[in-house]
Amino acid sequence: GQQLNQSPQSMFIQEGEDVSMNCTSSSIFNTWLWYKQDPGEGPVLLIALYKAGELTSNGRLTAQFGITRKDSFLNISASIPSDVGIYFCAGQQSYGGSQGNLIFGKGTKLSVKP
Amino acid sequence: KAGVTQTPRYLIKTRGQQVTLSCSPISGHRSVSWYQQTPGQGLQFLFEYFSETQRNKGNFPGRFSGRQFSNSRSEMNVSTLELGDSALYLCASSFAPNHQPQHFGDGTRLSIL
């Protein structure tokens, strides 16, 4: 099936640092979503993107829908300890006018630098 | 506004048993999707229900089934449980089929002994 390549798989952050992660595919998507999941909880929606080139912010988080429609990026500025968790990208394609299922990346795990 | 509610939160079963999980969507949401989350495979789509009808199905065996009630609440059932069915089962709701964004519940952690 379709795959989303999410990178990096994991990263360590120090408070105050900026963080970047991305999701790429060989196929075109018409919606990109970014979720964060904390241990023992379900994914929480961070940002939804619906248009190629769209740049959307949610507080310290900014996400972009790639112009080729095959990728998306998430940036976190001035990270804080509560940013740790697993971040997932998810994409949706269209098939003959109807919307497909959400396809998820494998996640980027953010941890605090020891 | 209440979020997506899944019950139970934790469940322990043995091989060969069957299990039923429940999901109540956000008020006003009529579409419910189910996902399986495992460390190895990540989040994988199981099926979606809208208006009490299965609209879409992922690549899972027939042991996995579901249904939706007139109040949009949904249940999923797994029969003849296998060790590999141990996972976090997540439910997500949205206004309409495959309408984004979907909002997730906290899941049911199913462990098979």
- Rounded to whole angstroms, the Cα distance separating A87 from A108 reads 5
pLDDT at B1 over 70: no
- For residue A1, count CB atoms less than 10 angstroms from its CB and return exposed for 0-12, middle for 13-18, buried for 19 or more: exposed
- Rounded to whole angstroms, the Cα distance separating B61 from B67 reads 16
- Rounded to whole angstroms, the Cα distance separating A22 from B95 reads 28
Nearest-CA distance from A102 to chain B in Å?
Answer: 7
Each residue's pLDDT expressed in tens, for chain A with a length of 114 residues: 567 999 999 999 999 999 999 999 999 999 999 999 999 899 999 999 999 999 999 999 999 999 999 999 999 999 999 999 999 999 998 777 677 888 999 999 999 887
A101 to B103: CB separation less than 8 angstroms, yes or no: no
- Rounded to whole angstroms, the Cα distance separating B5 from B27 reads 11
What pLDDT is attached to residue A1? Answer: 56
The bridge status of strand A31-37 relative to strand A98-104 is unpaired
Nearest-CA distance from B19 to chain A in Å?
Answer: 20
Sign of torsion, CA A27 A32 A34 A40? negative
What pLDDT is attached to residue A114? Answer: 75
Looking at beta carbons, which residues of chain B come within 8 Å of A88? 43
- For residue A40, count CB atoms less than 10 angstroms from its CB and return exposed for 0-12, middle for 13-18, buried for 19 or more: exposed
Q: Give yes or no for A109 touching B (CB within 8 A).
A: no
Nearest partner of B64 among B93, B40, B44, judged by Cα: B44
Looking at beta carbons, which residues of chain B come within 8 Å of A48? 100-101
Are A97 and A114 in contact by the 8 Å Cβ rule? The answer is no
Q: Give yes or no for A44 touching B (CB within 8 A).
A: yes
For A97, residues 6+ apart whose C-beta sits below 8 A from its C-beta are: none
Tally of residues, chain A: 114
Interchain CB contacts (distance < 8 Å): A and B: 55
Predicted confidence band of residue B59 (pLDDT cuts 50, 70, 90)? very high
What pLDDT is attached to residue B100? Answer: 84
CA dihedral B4, A40, A110, A80 (to 10 degrees): 80
Task: Calculate the alpha carbon distances from A10 to A62, A76, B1, B48 in Å.
Answer: 19, 14, 34, 31
State the maximum Cα–Cα separation within chain A, in Å, rounded to a whole number: 50
